[in-house]
Amino acid sequence: MHTFAELSQQFDLHFKNRQFPQQPEHLYDAAQYILDLGGKRVRPVSVLLAQEMFSELKTDALHAATAIELFHNFSLIHDDIMDKAPLRRGKDTVHSLYGESTALLAGDVMLVRAYEQFSKMDTAYRNEAFDLFNQTAREVCEGQQMDMDFENQSDVVMNQYVHMITLKTSVLLAACMKMGALIGGASPACQDHLYAFGKNLGIAFQIQDDYLDAFGDPEKFGKQVGGDIQSNKKTFLLIHALQNTDQATRNELEKLLKSSDSGKVDAVLSIFKSCGVDAWAESEKSAYTALALEHLEQVKAADHAKIHMRHLVQYLMNRES
Amino acid sequence: MHTFAELSQQFDLHFKNRQFPQQPEHLYDAAQYILDLGGKRVRPVSVLLAQEMFSELKTDALHAATAIELFHNFSLIHDDIMDKAPLRRGKDTVHSLYGESTALLAGDVMLVRAYEQFSKMDTAYRNEAFDLFNQTAREVCEGQQMDMDFENQSDVVMNQYVHMITLKTSVLLAACMKMGALIGGASPACQDHLYAFGKNLGIAFQIQDDYLDAFGDPEKFGKQVGGDIQSNKKTFLLIHALQNTDQATRNELEKLLKSSDSGKVDAVLSIFKSCGVDAWAESEKSAYTALALEHLEQVKAADHAKIHMRHLVQYLMNRES
């Protein structure tokens, strides 16, 4: 069994070669560009970690991991177009560099390329992996649409928000875990526990994301703290604050959201603190993490096989950027 | 065996139900909207026609036909975004009605839905059908990119243009024919002949499209004649004219292309006629059609099994709109 860092290296070795044909150059350079921006590769490495809980590392897990990473990057390209985002990881987004039309197409062809990975897999589990991938891809699109719908909706409540985030981001991590387990030869029950593990871990991960954006250490965070507040993004923190404060503070918060004053971020943060949003976020994050770990506990695998998965949990939950 | 009209009815019966879940409403209404705009359904019905050449109509052919029609509509939604087209079939495009972001996502989820059809197919040919679909999907994206690249390129020659059109439009019709044959139980050689039949028919179809846009009967065409000329679209006709005229006429043509005079369409048409572009297009269309029919001839199937396919050829090539 390998650590996250070791599997990350294995994945990079597999993934670093150009994933596309040479021609048409413009299309495939645009697609390759975002892959070359790097990232933590948490999702594909999770496939490998989950697979290794049950058997020696298989090439098919690398194919599945590749499919997931290509899918993730497809969604990033299209999300950046929708958000009109100029930067990703501090670099130009695909559409700012190559134009919107080529970026749109590069996303499309990236999704097709993700599907192509399934042709390489053993037929013993190919169909199940394919169905899981389809379901997940559909749900991610649904989550993205709900997120856009929420932008124009002032009365979003917490359970709707959790449902949206689950679809938009958590089901993909859940699918990574389950796909690894499936390829590794785990029982259906263990696959389901790993799915639930990934899903809850994903929600905890998103709460941590939202928390860092508001309360992170500016020295370590890497991005400007308060970005979500500045752009009026609905987050766990904001939904909680709106639902758990008196009418006067709620009115003030809603007024601040509509403004673009220079003091906006500080004012919202001060309301967040007065509602105890920071402590609440910490406790929610812990609750989802604990739920994730309970499901990991239920997985029938030797305890030493779970150790690297627990390290992943610690790594994701204690990160400061 | 059934006629095109009968199979078209069968397909509609299968396809008329909503193809998507109810929620999120905005996303799936946008996706369903374009399907409800209708169309001739040439591609899905071709799958059924090809399948019936070899065996009784199978449900799997309906699944394959659905995948193809969903894919085709995915590409229409995204193409319309790229072209900033306000209308399709005389109605609002998806993005003009639902906004660009929802249209983009509706296209994405339509593509995922297309892939989901493969889960329903018999495993005897599922993987081959899936590989063919992936290859085709990739090529269609490549063709669309080449088409965009050509917009900024003044020296596109005929064989490059034919290659682009083949990828952008013909391989999909080719894949329809081959997928039908595959599901019907045809030999690999017959599948390949039907692929070549569809590919050449697709090119002939496109030449007919370009011809009608320039020389069609305004009473019957349904759209404004000269639309391609007005929007400076590269077509078979334009590429041929640029390549087969003297330098002075070429200069005049290039000057006209850059202008937006009210007399532009008439002036370009008159140059087209002086170069004999209309007769050339008729003869090219006939040549590709003949090539298609030669491949159909090579298919090992009873002659009466080919009759509806020949009717399709006549229908596509003699249409006036």
pLDDT exceeds cutoff 80 at B118:
yes
Task: Say if CB B53 and CB B46 are below 8 A apart.
Answer: no
Beta strand spans in chain A (E)? 87-88, 91-92
Q: What is the mean pLDDT of chain A?
A: 95
Which pLDDT value is given to residue A232?
A: 86
For B2-58, write each residue's pLDDT tens digit.
999 999 999 999 999 999 999 999 999 999 999 999 999 999 999 999 999 999 999
Q: How many Å lie between the alpha carbon of B112 and the closest alpha carbon of chain A?
A: 6
C-beta contacts of B259-264 below 8 A and 24+ residues apart? B264/B229, B264/B230
The set of residues, in sequence order, having a beta carbon less than 8 Å from that of B76 and lying 6+ positions away, is B34, B88
pLDDT exceeds cutoff 90 at B125:
yes
Query: Token pair for residue B176?
Result: 């329809």
For B198-252, write each residue's pLDDT tens digit.
999 999 999 999 999 999 988 888 778 898 998 888 999 999 999 999 999 999 9
Q: Does the CB of B113 have a partner CB in chain A at under 8 Å?
A: yes
- Give the Å distances, CA to CA, from B88 to A36, B16, B33, B146, B212: 37, 19, 11, 22, 17
pLDDT exceeds cutoff 90 at A218:
no
The set of residues, in sequence order, having a beta carbon less than 8 Å from that of A180 and lying 6+ positions away, is A46, A47, A48, A49, A50, A51, A52, A53, A61, A64, A194
Confidence of residue B168 (pLDDT cuts 50, 70, 90): very high
Q: Does the CB of A118 have a partner CB in chain B at under 8 Å?
A: yes
Q: How many Å lie between the alpha carbon of A255 and the closest alpha carbon of chain B?
A: 27
Which pLDDT value is given to residue A260?
A: 86
Enumerate the H helices of chain B as residue ranges.
Answer: 4-15, 25-36, 42-52, 59-83, 94-98, 100-116, 123-151, 158-165, 171-184, 188-215, 218-221, 227-230, 236-243, 247-258, 264-274, 277-298, 307-318
Q: What is the mean pLDDT of chain B?
A: 95
pLDDT exceeds cutoff 90 at A68:
yes
A-chain residues near B112 (CB < 8 A): 111, 134, 137-138, 141
Task: Say if CB A289 and CB A204 are below 8 A apart.
Answer: yes
Query: Token pair for residue A9?
Result: 């290296």
Q: Does the CB of A178 have a partner CB in chain B at under 8 Å?
A: no
Q: Does the CB of B209 have a partner CB in chain A at under 8 Å?
A: no
Q: Which of A285-289, B76-80, B100-104, B154-158 has the lowest mean pLDDT?
A: B154-158
Domains of chain B (ranges, CATH numbers): 4-318 (1.10.600.10)
Asked if the Cβ–Cβ distance from A24 to B149 is below 8 Å, we say yes
Query: Token pair for residue A104?
Result: 């749109």
Asked if the Cβ–Cβ distance from B127 to A131 is below 8 Å, we say no
Strand, helix or coil at A16?
A: coil
For B242-263, write each residue's pLDDT tens digit.
999 999 999 999 999 889 888 9
Q: Which of A102-106, B106-110, B299-303 has the lowest mean pLDDT?
A: B299-303
Which pLDDT value is given to residue B134?
A: 98
For A105-148, write each residue's pLDDT tens digit.
999 999 999 999 999 999 999 999 999 999 999 999 999 999 99
* Nearest CB partner across the interface for B104, out of A104, A115, A123: A104
Q: Does the CB of A124 have a partner CB in chain B at under 8 Å?
A: no
Which pLDDT value is given to residue A222?
A: 75
- Give B276: exposed, middle or buried? Use CB within 10 Å, 0-12, 13-18, 19+: middle
* Nearest CB partner across the interface for B27, out of A115, A116, A141: A141
Asked if the Cβ–Cβ distance from A108 to B104 is below 8 Å, we say no
Which pLDDT value is given to residue B77?
A: 98
Q: How many Å lie between the alpha carbon of A94 and the closest alpha carbon of chain B?
A: 15
Can you tell me the ipTM of this complex? 0.96
Q: Which of A57-61, A187-191, B235-239, B255-259 has the lowest mean pLDDT?
A: B255-259
